[in-house]
Amino acid sequence: MKFGVVVFPGSNCDRDIFNTIQSDLGKEVEFLWHKDKDIKHFSTGDCIVLPGGFSYGDYLRCGAIARFSPMMQSVISFAHKGGRVLGICNGFQILCESGLLPGALLMNAHRQFICKNVHLKGNDHKIYKIPVAHGDGRYYANENILDDMERNGQVILHYCNESGEMTSESNPNGASRNIAGIKNKPGNVIGLMPHPERASNPLCGNSDGIRLFEYFEMN
Amino acid sequence: MIYHVQIKVMPLKDLLDPQGKAVMSGLENLQIQGVKEVRVGKHITLNIEAASSDAAKALADDACKKLLANPVMEYYEIELVN
Protein backbone atom coordinates (compact mmCIF):
# COMPACT_ATOMS: atom_id res chain seq x y z
CA MET A 1 0.00 0.00 0.00
CA LYS A 2 1.47 3.29 -1.18
CA PHE A 3 0.50 6.77 0.09
CA GLY A 4 0.32 10.21 -1.50
CA VAL A 5 0.04 13.37 0.61
CA VAL A 6 -1.55 16.36 -1.15
CA VAL A 7 0.10 19.70 -0.40
CA PHE A 8 -2.19 22.73 -0.68
CA PRO A 9 -1.10 26.31 -0.04
CA GLY A 10 -1.71 26.56 3.71
CA SER A 11 -1.37 22.84 4.52
CA ASN A 12 0.69 22.56 7.69
CA CYS A 13 0.41 18.92 8.74
CA ASP A 14 1.67 17.54 5.42
CA ARG A 15 5.19 16.84 6.71
CA ASP A 16 3.91 15.32 9.94
CA ILE A 17 1.73 12.78 8.13
CA PHE A 18 4.51 12.15 5.57
CA ASN A 19 6.97 11.31 8.37
CA THR A 20 4.41 9.16 10.16
CA ILE A 21 3.71 7.13 7.03
CA GLN A 22 7.38 6.78 6.17
CA SER A 23 8.98 6.27 9.58
CA ASP A 24 6.23 4.94 11.83
CA LEU A 25 4.12 2.95 9.37
CA GLY A 26 7.14 2.08 7.17
CA LYS A 27 5.24 2.69 3.94
CA GLU A 28 6.14 4.30 0.65
CA VAL A 29 4.89 7.88 0.46
CA GLU A 30 5.22 10.93 -1.79
CA PHE A 31 4.00 14.51 -1.80
CA LEU A 32 1.41 15.52 -4.42
CA TRP A 33 1.40 19.23 -5.35
CA HIS A 34 -2.09 20.77 -5.57
CA LYS A 35 -1.44 22.18 -9.06
CA ASP A 36 -0.46 18.78 -10.47
CA LYS A 37 -3.01 16.25 -11.60
CA ASP A 38 -1.19 13.04 -12.27
CA ILE A 39 -1.94 10.23 -9.83
CA LYS A 40 -2.12 7.50 -12.46
CA HIS A 41 0.62 5.60 -10.64
CA PHE A 42 -1.74 5.09 -7.67
CA SER A 43 -4.02 2.06 -7.73
CA THR A 44 -7.24 1.73 -5.75
CA GLY A 45 -5.47 -0.21 -2.99
CA ASP A 46 -3.27 2.86 -2.38
CA CYS A 47 -4.27 5.85 -0.32
CA ILE A 48 -4.31 9.60 -0.94
CA VAL A 49 -4.14 11.71 2.22
CA LEU A 50 -5.53 15.24 2.52
CA PRO A 51 -3.58 16.70 5.45
CA GLY A 52 -4.51 19.16 8.16
CA GLY A 53 -3.90 22.89 7.96
CA PHE A 54 -5.61 25.93 6.52
CA SER A 55 -5.76 25.33 2.77
CA TYR A 56 -6.20 28.60 0.87
CA GLY A 57 -6.34 30.44 4.20
CA ASP A 58 -9.76 28.92 4.97
CA TYR A 59 -11.16 31.62 2.65
CA LEU A 60 -14.92 31.56 2.09
CA ARG A 61 -15.36 28.33 4.10
CA CYS A 62 -12.82 25.77 5.31
CA GLY A 63 -11.99 23.51 2.38
CA ALA A 64 -14.24 25.34 -0.09
CA ILE A 65 -11.47 26.52 -2.41
CA ALA A 66 -9.18 23.50 -2.09
CA ARG A 67 -11.92 21.36 -3.53
CA PHE A 68 -11.43 23.05 -6.94
CA SER A 69 -7.67 22.57 -7.16
CA PRO A 70 -6.46 20.47 -10.12
CA MET A 71 -5.18 17.69 -7.84
CA MET A 72 -8.57 17.43 -6.12
CA GLN A 73 -10.25 16.68 -9.46
CA SER A 74 -7.96 13.65 -9.78
CA VAL A 75 -8.52 12.69 -6.13
CA ILE A 76 -12.31 12.89 -6.59
CA SER A 77 -12.24 10.57 -9.61
CA PHE A 78 -9.78 8.29 -7.77
CA ALA A 79 -12.28 8.07 -4.88
CA HIS A 80 -15.19 7.41 -7.25
CA LYS A 81 -13.20 4.49 -8.70
CA GLY A 82 -12.86 3.05 -5.19
CA GLY A 83 -9.42 4.47 -4.35
CA ARG A 84 -8.74 5.04 -0.67
CA VAL A 85 -8.76 8.63 0.56
CA LEU A 86 -8.06 9.81 4.11
CA GLY A 87 -8.83 13.38 5.19
CA ILE A 88 -7.48 14.63 8.50
CA CYS A 89 -8.88 17.84 10.02
CA ASN A 90 -8.74 20.35 7.13
CA GLY A 91 -8.66 17.27 4.87
CA PHE A 92 -11.98 16.16 6.40
CA GLN A 93 -13.42 19.62 5.70
CA ILE A 94 -12.25 19.38 2.07
CA LEU A 95 -13.87 15.92 1.70
CA CYS A 96 -17.21 17.29 2.96
CA GLU A 97 -16.98 20.33 0.66
CA SER A 98 -16.16 17.99 -2.26
CA GLY A 99 -19.25 15.92 -1.58
CA LEU A 100 -17.13 12.79 -1.05
CA LEU A 101 -18.45 12.68 2.52
CA PRO A 102 -21.84 13.88 3.79
CA GLY A 103 -22.33 16.81 6.17
CA ALA A 104 -20.15 19.79 7.04
CA LEU A 105 -17.76 21.01 9.73
CA LEU A 106 -18.99 24.13 11.54
CA MET A 107 -17.32 26.52 13.97
CA ASN A 108 -16.82 24.96 17.41
CA ALA A 109 -19.90 25.62 19.54
CA HIS A 110 -17.83 27.34 22.27
CA ARG A 111 -16.04 29.52 19.66
CA GLN A 112 -12.57 28.55 20.89
CA PHE A 113 -9.75 26.91 18.99
CA ILE A 114 -9.10 23.63 20.81
CA CYS A 115 -5.76 21.87 20.94
CA LYS A 116 -5.72 18.93 23.35
CA ASN A 117 -5.91 15.18 23.66
CA VAL A 118 -9.37 13.65 23.36
CA HIS A 119 -10.61 10.09 23.64
CA LEU A 120 -12.25 8.37 20.72
CA LYS A 121 -14.24 5.20 20.46
CA GLY A 122 -14.23 3.16 17.27
CA ASN A 123 -16.74 0.67 15.95
CA ASP A 124 -14.20 -1.89 17.14
CA HIS A 125 -15.14 -0.73 20.70
CA LYS A 126 -11.52 0.22 21.33
CA ILE A 127 -10.58 3.57 22.84
CA TYR A 128 -7.93 5.83 21.31
CA LYS A 129 -6.31 8.89 22.84
CA ILE A 130 -5.54 11.32 19.99
CA PRO A 131 -5.03 15.11 19.87
CA VAL A 132 -7.44 17.49 18.17
CA ALA A 133 -6.48 20.98 16.96
CA HIS A 134 -9.23 22.93 15.28
CA GLY A 135 -11.56 25.91 15.36
CA ASP A 136 -14.12 24.53 12.90
CA GLY A 137 -14.63 20.92 13.84
CA ARG A 138 -18.27 20.67 14.85
CA TYR A 139 -19.56 17.91 12.60
CA TYR A 140 -23.07 18.56 11.38
CA ALA A 141 -25.50 16.71 9.13
CA ASN A 142 -29.28 16.58 9.23
CA GLU A 143 -30.98 13.92 11.34
CA ASN A 144 -31.92 11.72 8.37
CA ILE A 145 -28.35 11.61 7.14
CA LEU A 146 -27.07 10.90 10.67
CA ASP A 147 -29.57 8.03 11.11
CA ASP A 148 -28.63 6.66 7.72
CA MET A 149 -24.90 6.84 8.47
CA GLU A 150 -25.32 5.14 11.84
CA ARG A 151 -27.39 2.36 10.27
CA ASN A 152 -24.66 1.78 7.69
CA GLY A 153 -21.85 1.82 10.26
CA GLN A 154 -20.39 4.92 8.62
CA VAL A 155 -19.72 6.71 11.91
CA ILE A 156 -16.33 5.24 12.70
CA LEU A 157 -15.18 7.47 15.58
CA HIS A 158 -17.09 9.07 18.44
CA TYR A 159 -15.72 11.45 21.07
CA CYS A 160 -15.92 9.74 24.46
CA ASN A 161 -14.40 9.92 27.92
CA GLU A 162 -11.52 7.80 29.16
CA SER A 163 -13.90 4.95 29.95
CA GLY A 164 -15.47 5.04 26.51
CA GLU A 165 -18.74 6.74 27.49
CA MET A 166 -20.05 9.18 24.92
CA THR A 167 -20.98 12.08 27.19
CA SER A 168 -21.62 15.70 26.28
CA GLU A 169 -18.61 16.67 28.44
CA SER A 170 -16.37 14.55 26.25
CA ASN A 171 -17.62 16.24 23.08
CA PRO A 172 -14.96 18.94 22.51
CA ASN A 173 -16.74 21.02 19.85
CA GLY A 174 -20.48 20.33 19.99
CA ALA A 175 -20.42 17.83 17.11
CA SER A 176 -23.72 16.11 16.26
CA ARG A 177 -23.94 12.85 18.21
CA ASN A 178 -20.27 13.14 19.35
CA ILE A 179 -19.08 12.39 15.82
CA ALA A 180 -15.31 12.66 15.31
CA GLY A 181 -14.86 10.59 12.16
CA ILE A 182 -16.92 9.07 9.36
CA LYS A 183 -16.54 7.09 6.16
CA ASN A 184 -18.55 7.01 2.94
CA LYS A 185 -20.94 4.16 2.18
CA PRO A 186 -18.45 1.96 0.29
CA GLY A 187 -15.89 2.67 3.03
CA ASN A 188 -13.00 3.86 0.84
CA VAL A 189 -13.18 7.52 1.94
CA ILE A 190 -12.48 8.37 5.59
CA GLY A 191 -12.55 11.77 7.30
CA LEU A 192 -11.71 12.60 10.90
CA MET A 193 -11.01 15.75 12.90
CA PRO A 194 -8.36 14.33 15.29
CA HIS A 195 -4.68 14.11 14.27
CA PRO A 196 -3.31 10.54 14.49
CA GLU A 197 -0.06 11.76 12.88
CA ARG A 198 0.66 13.75 16.04
CA ALA A 199 0.50 10.62 18.18
CA SER A 200 2.22 7.91 16.18
CA ASN A 201 5.69 7.76 17.64
CA PRO A 202 6.78 6.76 21.16
CA LEU A 203 8.87 9.97 21.20
CA CYS A 204 5.57 11.88 21.15
CA GLY A 205 4.65 10.08 24.36
CA ASN A 206 1.64 8.56 22.66
CA SER A 207 1.46 6.10 19.80
CA ASP A 208 -2.30 5.52 19.74
CA GLY A 209 -2.21 7.01 16.23
CA ILE A 210 -0.60 3.79 15.00
CA ARG A 211 -3.48 1.81 16.52
CA LEU A 212 -5.85 4.12 14.67
CA PHE A 213 -4.11 3.44 11.35
CA GLU A 214 -4.47 -0.27 12.17
CA TYR A 215 -8.18 0.28 12.77
CA PHE A 216 -8.35 1.99 9.34
CA GLU A 217 -6.45 -1.00 7.91
CA MET A 218 -3.70 1.29 6.71
CA ASN A 219 -0.86 -0.21 8.73
CA MET B 1 -24.34 45.50 -19.57
CA ILE B 2 -22.76 45.14 -16.13
CA TYR B 3 -25.15 44.04 -13.41
CA HIS B 4 -24.34 44.60 -9.75
CA VAL B 5 -25.47 41.64 -7.73
CA GLN B 6 -25.46 41.44 -3.95
CA ILE B 7 -25.55 38.06 -2.29
CA LYS B 8 -26.40 37.40 1.32
CA VAL B 9 -25.16 34.09 2.75
CA MET B 10 -26.45 33.20 6.21
CA PRO B 11 -26.13 30.19 8.52
CA LEU B 12 -29.29 28.03 8.36
CA LYS B 13 -31.87 29.22 10.88
CA ASP B 14 -31.83 25.99 12.91
CA LEU B 15 -28.05 25.95 13.31
CA LEU B 16 -26.15 27.35 16.26
CA ASP B 17 -24.19 30.43 15.11
CA PRO B 18 -21.23 30.87 17.49
CA GLN B 19 -20.14 34.13 15.80
CA GLY B 20 -23.57 35.60 16.35
CA LYS B 21 -23.45 34.52 20.00
CA ALA B 22 -20.05 36.20 20.46
CA VAL B 23 -21.29 39.44 18.89
CA MET B 24 -24.41 39.26 21.05
CA SER B 25 -22.34 39.05 24.22
CA GLY B 26 -20.22 41.97 22.95
CA LEU B 27 -23.34 44.08 22.53
CA GLU B 28 -24.45 43.14 26.03
CA ASN B 29 -21.05 44.18 27.41
CA LEU B 30 -21.53 47.57 25.73
CA GLN B 31 -24.93 47.84 27.39
CA ILE B 32 -26.63 48.03 24.02
CA GLN B 33 -29.94 46.68 25.18
CA GLY B 34 -32.94 45.13 23.51
CA VAL B 35 -31.05 42.96 21.00
CA LYS B 36 -32.57 39.50 21.31
CA GLU B 37 -30.52 37.62 18.73
CA VAL B 38 -27.55 38.19 16.44
CA ARG B 39 -26.64 36.04 13.47
CA VAL B 40 -23.56 36.66 11.37
CA GLY B 41 -23.28 35.80 7.70
CA LYS B 42 -21.46 36.98 4.60
CA HIS B 43 -22.19 39.69 2.08
CA ILE B 44 -20.73 39.06 -1.37
CA THR B 45 -20.94 41.45 -4.32
CA LEU B 46 -20.52 40.40 -7.93
CA ASN B 47 -20.29 42.60 -11.02
CA ILE B 48 -21.60 40.46 -13.83
CA GLU B 49 -21.58 41.16 -17.53
CA ALA B 50 -24.72 39.59 -18.96
CA ALA B 51 -27.31 40.09 -21.68
CA SER B 52 -30.21 40.54 -19.27
CA SER B 53 -30.97 40.85 -15.57
CA ASP B 54 -32.41 37.34 -15.62
CA ALA B 55 -29.19 36.00 -17.10
CA ALA B 56 -27.15 37.84 -14.44
CA LYS B 57 -29.34 36.42 -11.69
CA ALA B 58 -29.11 32.92 -13.12
CA LEU B 59 -25.33 33.20 -13.23
CA ALA B 60 -25.21 34.41 -9.60
CA ASP B 61 -27.50 31.57 -8.57
CA ASP B 62 -25.19 29.06 -10.26
CA ALA B 63 -22.19 30.61 -8.47
CA CYS B 64 -23.98 30.31 -5.12
CA LYS B 65 -24.94 26.69 -5.73
CA LYS B 66 -21.45 25.67 -6.84
CA LEU B 67 -19.25 27.68 -4.51
CA LEU B 68 -20.46 30.74 -2.63
CA ALA B 69 -22.86 28.94 -0.26
CA ASN B 70 -22.87 25.44 1.19
CA PRO B 71 -26.50 24.28 1.39
CA VAL B 72 -25.65 21.87 4.21
CA MET B 73 -25.11 24.82 6.53
CA GLU B 74 -26.14 28.02 4.73
CA TYR B 75 -28.89 29.66 2.71
CA TYR B 76 -28.50 32.56 0.32
CA GLU B 77 -30.48 35.42 -1.17
CA ILE B 78 -29.62 37.23 -4.38
CA GLU B 79 -30.46 40.87 -5.03
CA LEU B 80 -29.94 42.83 -8.23
CA VAL B 81 -28.91 46.41 -7.40
CA ASN B 82 -29.22 48.16 -10.78
pLDDT in tens, A39-60: 999 999 999 999 999 999 999 9
Q: Say how far apart CA A172 and CA A152 lie, in whole Å.
A: 25
Q: Say how far apart CA A170 and CA A178 lie, in whole Å.
A: 8
Contact A194/A139 with Cβ under 8 angstroms? no
Residue A145, chain B, CB below 8 Å: the answer is no
Residue of chain B nearest A62, judged by CA positions:
B70
Reported ipTM exceeds the 0.90 cut? no
CATH of the domain at B63: 3.30.1280.10
Residue of chain B nearest A175, judged by CA positions:
B16
pLDDT of residue A164 exceeding 90: yes
Question: Any idea where the domains of chain A sit in the sequence?
Answer: 3-215
Whether this model's pTM surpasses 0.90: yes
Q: Tell me if A141 and B15 make a contact (CB, 8 A cut-off).
A: no
Report the gap between the CA of A110 and the closest CA in chain B (Å).
Answer: 7
Residue A96, chain B, CB below 8 Å: the answer is yes
Q: Say how far apart CA A76 and CA A188 lie, in whole Å.
A: 12
User: Is 3.40.50.880 the CATH classification of the domain at A3-215?
Assistant: yes
Considering its fold, how many domains does chain B have in total?
1
Residue of chain A nearest B16, judged by CA positions:
A109
Give Cβ neighbours of residue B26 (< 8 Å, ≥ 6 apart): none
Instruction: Give the pLDDT mean for B69-80.
Output: 97
Per-residue pLDDT at A153? 97
Sheet holding B2-11, edge to edge: B42-49, B2-11, B74-80
Residue A182, chain B, CB below 8 Å: the answer is no
Supply the range of the domain harboring residue B57. 2-80
